[in-house]
Amino acid sequence: MSSLERKSHRGQAVVVRGYDIDTDRIIPARFMGRITFAGIEEGVFADVRRAPDGSPKDHPFNEERFQNASILIVNKNFGCGSSREHAPQALNRWGIQVLIGESFAEIFFGNCVALGMPALTASESDIASLMDSVELDADQEIVIDLESMTATSKLGQIAVSMPEGPRSQLLDGSWNGLHTLLSAREEIRATANRLPYVDGF
């Protein structure tokens, strides 16, 4: 299996509850001042994890029992708002490798795939049970399988889903789409040539 293939993942999970958690919440803008993503995980959920005086607030990312988590479980419309890739970058560099939620905002979803990070959806009731289960037993390991499209916890197996295109890219390791796009040089030129605005009408 090449290191780029994302067929399965086994790990502990962390639960972040709430609808419409936007990318400003995931990574506040003041952490975006640098020209690289290095160290961006310092700012993940900063304003909901720390009070203005720096003291910690109640947040799952602060809890000792979730510090080894590599799976993030969320509710609806996670990652809405700004297109900043800093949001999935910060989550990924903190340790998250897979997301499971009721739904994701579109640009955020694409940014996750571009990092080789599956963002899978499951039904509202399955997410609710999974969240409860992980909060009761944070040590349990969850197994994500992108071939069978299932997530298995101590509760049993649930179905997860994802559009077929990104799924197949994650499975075969072609999610870094640059080389696929590059391999169509002739077709790119042909497309540009038939658009009248490209040469000013």
Partner 1 sequence: MGRSLFDKVWDMHTVRELPGGQTQLFIGLHLIHEVTSPQGFQMLREAGLEVLRPDRTFATPDHIIPTDSRTRPLQISEAEEMLSALETNTEQSGIQLFGVGSGDQGIVHVIGPELGLTQPGMTIACGDSHTSTHGAFGSIAFGIGTTQVRDVLATQCLALARPRVRRIHVNGELSPGVYAKDLILHIIRTLGVKGGVGHAYEFAGPAVEALSMEARLTLCNMAIEGGARVGYINPDQVTFDYLKGRRYAPQGEAFERAVAWWKNVASDPDAEFADQVELDAGSIAPTVTWGINPGQAIGVNEPVPRLSDLPDEDRGTAEEAFGYMELNGGQPIAGVPIDVAFIGSCTNSRISDLREAARVARGRRVAPSVRALVVPGSEKIKIQAEEEGLDEVFREAGFEWREAGCSMCLAMNPDKLVGREVCASSSNRNFKGRQGSPAGRTLLMSPAMVAEAAIRGAVADVRETLH
Calpha distance 104→94 (Å, rounded): 19
Q: E strand or H helix at 166, and its extent?
A: helix 164-172
Which of 120, 125, 124, 114 lies closest to 151, judged by CA? 120
d(CA 72, CA 144): 12
For the CB of residue 8, give the shortest distance to partner 1 in the complex, in Å.
Answer: 19
Task: Specify the residue, 65 or 93, whose C-beta has the smaller distance to partner 1.
Answer: 93
Min dist CB 141 to partner 1, Å, is 29
Shortest Cβ distance from residue 68 to partner 1 (Å)?
27
Structure tokens at 126: 């399955």
- Contact positions toward partner 1, by CB under 8 A? 18-20, 22, 24-25, 28-30, 32-37, 46-47, 52, 76-77, 80-86, 88, 103, 105-107, 110-111, 114-115, 163-169, 177-178, 180-182, 184, 187-188, 191-192, 194-198, 200-201
Q: Where are the alpha helices (DSSP H) in 17-163?
A: 23-26, 46-49, 86-94, 106-114, 124-136
Nearer to partner 1 among residue 97 and residue 153 (C-beta): 97
Minimum CB separation of residue 82 from partner 1 in Å reads 5
Q: CB 19 → partner 1: shortest distance, Å?
A: 5
Residue (66 or 109) nearer to partner 1, CB: 109
Token pair listed for 81: 């708002």
Answer for the pair 97, 144: CB distance below 8 angstroms, yes or no: no
Quick one: 5 or 47, whose CB is closer to partner 1? 47
Cβ nearer to partner 1, comparing 45 with 153: 45
Distance from C-alpha of 42 to C-alpha of 38, rounded to nearest angstrom: 9
DSSP classification of residue 71: E
